[in-house]
Structure 1
Amino acid sequence: MKVLHVITGLEAGGAERQLRDLVANHHVTAEVAALTKPGLISQAIQAEGVTVHHLGMTGNRDLRVLGPLWRLVQRGGYDVVHTHLFRAGLYGRLVARLSGVAAIVASEHSIGERHLEGRPITAPVRALARAGERLGHVTVAVSSAAAQRLVRWGVPEQRIEVIANGIDPRAFRFDPAVRETTRSRLTIPPHITVVGGVGRLEPGKRFDVLIEAVAGLPDTVLLLVGDGPERANLVAHARRLGIANRMVLAGQSSQVPALLSAMDVFAAPSQEETFGLAIVEALACGLPVLYSACPALDELPASASPNARRLPSAAEPFRQAVEELIAAGAPRQLPPQAVDHYGIGHHVNRIEALYLRVHEQRSRSKTIAPAWGEQP
C-alpha cells in the first residue's frame, strides 16, 4: 500500500511532530507533500528516509499549489491520500477526489469550540471545512472531544473515526546529562527552577498567564518552546513585568525532548485543546504537569496521570501550584500509565488498519461512508 500524506506546512508544531512519528513508524510505503513552509520537521522526516515534496504555496489562498499537487497525485500511484490540517485537508481531498484515489482520509488535529488551528472559526471557515470534509471518505478525530465538535458541525458520526495521537515514550525519556548540556546552552544555572511550555506562540495558548505567574516566583525561569505571531507581545509583556531576563524563548526546535529534560515543571494554560500532545510528551519525560485543558487526559481515569494537575487558566493558580511543587522539590516521576496508553505503536496500527478497511471497502463497493450527496 502506498500513502501520500498532505500537510499544510512542516514547521515544529504538534500536528507536524505527530506526522513525523507516524511516517517514522509506518509499515506502508509513505511520502509526504508539504504545501508550504518545509521547516525543521521536513528535515527530520527526510532523515528517516521518507520522501518529502515541497509544493511552494506562498499563502493560504495561493491556488497555484493545486497544479503541482495534482501532478504529484496523478503520477504517484497512491492507494491512500491522508491530509493533515485545514488548508491541506481542503486542497488535498479535492485533488484526491478528482484523481480517483481509492481512499481519502483526513485528520483533524486542532479543532476547538471557537478556534481552528489558532484562528477564530468564522462562518466562511466553517463552510469551507464542511465542504472539504464532504470530499473525503473518513475523518480522523484525535480525541472524543474533537469528534463531538465535528458532529456539532454537522459531520455524520459514521464518517468519523476516533484515533488518539501517539508518541514514542523512549524519545522523551528524561536524561540528566542532556538536562545539564541543554541548560548550559541556554545559560540557565543548575539551581534555577525552570517552568516550561511547548506550543505555537499564539493568543489561544495563553502563555501570558505563565509570564504573570513566573513574575511572582523569584529564582524561576520561564522557558517557552515554539514560535508564532504572539512572540513580540509576550516579550513586551515580560518587559512590563520586569522578567524579560527570566524568560527564554527557544523558538522552533527539533530538540523538544532535550528541552523538556531541562525543565522542572511543565505548564499548559490553554483553555482549549484538541488533544494535548505536548502534555503527554511532558509526562513521558517525568515532569509534574499543570494544565487547563487536555482531552487526552480527560478520556482516562485520574490514576493514569497522577503527576498532572488541572487548574483554571489564570496566573495566581499557576503561581501557587508551581510554588507548591518547588517546596516539594518538583520531583520527577516515572512516566505514568497515560504515556503507555498513547504509545505511537497503537496509533500507527489503528491508522493503517483504517487505511486497509477504507481502501478495501471503497474498491469493492464504493459504499463506505459515502461523501454527502454521493450515491452508493
Structure 2
Amino acid sequence: MKALHVITGLGVGGAEQQLRLLLRHLPFDCDVVTLTNPGAVADGLVDDGVRVTHLGMAGNRDLAALPRLARLIRTGGYDLVHTHLYRACIYGRLAARIAGVRAIVATEHSLGDSQMEGRRLTAGVRGLYLASERLGRATVAVSPTVAARLKHWGVPAPRIEVVPNGIDLDRFRFDPAQRLRTRRRLGLPETAYVIGAIGRLTAGKQFAVLIRALTQLPDDHWLLLVGGGPEESVLRRTAHEAGVADRVLFTGERPYVPDGSPGPDLPSLTAAMDLLASPSPEEAFGLAVVEGLAAGLPVLYASCPAIEDLPAHTASAARRVRGGPEEFARAIAEARAQGPRPRTTPDAAHHYSITRSAARLMDVYAAAVAAPSVSPSPQGVSSS
C-alpha cells in the first residue's frame, strides 16, 4: 500500500505530533503533504526518513492549491489518502477524488461541542465539512465522544470509526534519574512541588486558571507550562501581575519524540513534574492527561473524553475538577497532601498504546481500499 497523509500544518501540536508518532508504527512507507507551516514536526518527519512536501497554501481561500494538490496525488500513484485537520480535510478529500483516489480516510482530531481547532462551529463550517465528508470512505474519531459529536452533526454512523490517539508508553515510563537531570536543568529547587500543564498556549486551554491557582498555594509550588502559542505573552503578563512570575516556567514547544533540538523533550518534562493539570473545558481527546498518566502522575482535568470514556478504575489517579482557580488550587493541595505515590502506568494509559491504535487504523485502511466505488463524486468528476 502507498499512502499520502495531508495535514494543514506541521508546527508542534497534538495532531501534528500524533501523525509523526503514527508513521513510526505503520508497516509501510507514507508521504506527507503540509498545506502550510512546515515547522518543527516537518523537520522531525524528514529526520525519520519521511518525504514531506510543502504545498505553500496562502490561506483558507487559496483555491489554486487544489489543482496543485490533485496533481501531486495523481503523480504519486497513491492507494489511499488520509487527511488531518479541518482545512486539509476540505481540500485533501476533494483533491483526492479529482486525482482518482477513492480510498480516502480523514481523522477528526479536534471537534468540540462549540468549536473545532479554535474556530467557532457556524452553519457554514458545518455545511462545508459535511459536504467534503461525503467524498471520503471513513471518518476517524479520536474518541467515542467525538464520534457522538460527528453523528449529531449528521455524519452517518456507519462511516465513523473510533481510533483513539496513541502514546509511546516506553517513552513516558518514569525514570528517577531523568527526573533529577531535568529538574536541575530547569533550575527547579529540590523541594519544589511542580504542577505541569501541556498544550498549545491558546485562550481555549485556559492555562491562566493555573497561574491564578498558584497564587493561592504555598511558595514551594511551581508551574511548568509546556508548549508555545499566541497566548504566551498574555500568560507571562498574567503571571507577572499575579506576583508569581518567578514560579512559572515556560519551556516553549517541546517534541513528543526526540528530534535533536536543544532542551528536554516532553517525556523528560513529565518526569520532572509532580502533578499534571488540564483546565481546558472542552477537549476532543485529552492527550496531555493520558501522557501524564503514562508518566505515573496524578492528574486533574476539566475535560478529558479519553478518561471519561473508560471505566473509572482504569485511571484512579485522575480527578475531574469543575470550576476555576479556587477549585484547582484546592484540588492541587489535596493531591499533595496525599503524599507521593508510585510512578506506575495505569490501565487507562495502556489502553491508548500507539501500537494498538496503529493496528486499529490499519483495519480502517484495509476496509477503505477494499470498498467498492459507490461514494458520491464531486461535480464533474467521474466515479468510474
| 8 Å Cα contact 1:288-1:332 kept in structure 2 | no
Q: Which moved more, 1:94-103 or 1:51-60?
A: 51-60
Superposed displacement of residue 371, structure 1: 7.0
Describe the shift of the 1:231–1:77 C-alpha distance in structure 2 as closer, same or farther (beyond 3 A). same
TM-fit CA distance, 1:312: 0.6
Matches for 1:1-376 after TM superposition, within 5 Å: 1-217=1-217, 218-254=219-255, 255-361=265-371, 365-367=372-374
Q: Using the alignment, how far apart are the partners of 1:173 and 1:157 within structure 2?
A: 36
Q: Distance in 1 between matches of 2:69 and 2:365?
A: 21
- The amino acid of 2:296's aligned partner reads G
Indicate the larger mover: 47-56 or 253-262.
Answer: 47-56
Q: Work out whether residues 94 and 378 of structure 2, in 8 Å CA contact, stay in contact via their aligned partners in 1.
A: no
CA contact (8 A) 1:134 1:372 kept: no
CA distance in 1, matches of 2:295, 2:82: 30
SS of the residue aligned with 1:228?
A: coil
Q: Please list the CA deviations of residues 69-113 of structure 1 after superposition, one character each: whole Å capped at 9, or x if unmatched.
A: 223212111000000000111111110011111300000000001
CA distance in 1, matches of 2:178, 2:38: 27
Higher mean Cα deviation, 170-179 or 340-349?
Answer: 170-179
**Gap runs ≥5 in structure 1:** none
Q: What one-letter code is carried by the residue in structure 1 that aligns with 2:232?
A: R
Q: For the residues of structure 1 that align with 2:116 and 2:342, how far apart are their CA atoms?
A: 34
Structure 1 residue 18, shift from structure 2 partner: 1.1
Separation in 1, partners of 2:42, 2:367 = 29
Q: Distance in 2 between matches of 1:225 and 1:269?
A: 14
Does the aligned pair in 1 maintain the 2:97–2:378 contact within 8 Å?
Answer: no
- Give the secondary structure class of the aligned counterpart of 1:135: coil
What is the CA distance between 1:23 and its match in structure 2? 0.3
CA distance in 2 between partners of 1:371 and 1:264 (Å): 53
Partner Cα distance (2:247, 2:377) in 1: 52
Describe the SS at the equivalent of 1:359. helix
Q: Which amino acid aligns with 1:346?
A: R
Q: For residue 115 of structure 1, report the CA deviation from its aligned partner.
A: 0.9
Return the alpha-carbon distance in structure 1 between the equivalents of residues 27 and 323 of structure 2: 41
- The alpha carbon displacement at 1:280 in A equals 0.8
Say what the alpha-carbon RMSD is for the aligned residues: 1.9
CA distance in structure 2 between the aligned counterparts of 1:313 and 1:56, rounded to whole angstroms: 42
2:164 partner letter: A
1:31 aligned counterpart, secondary structure: strand
Which string of whole-angstrom CA distances, capped at 9 and with x for unpartnered residues, describes residues 273-300 of structure 1?
A: 1111111111110111001111111111
Q: CA deviation at 1:28?
A: 2.0
Higher deviation after alignment, 44-53 or 335-344: 44-53
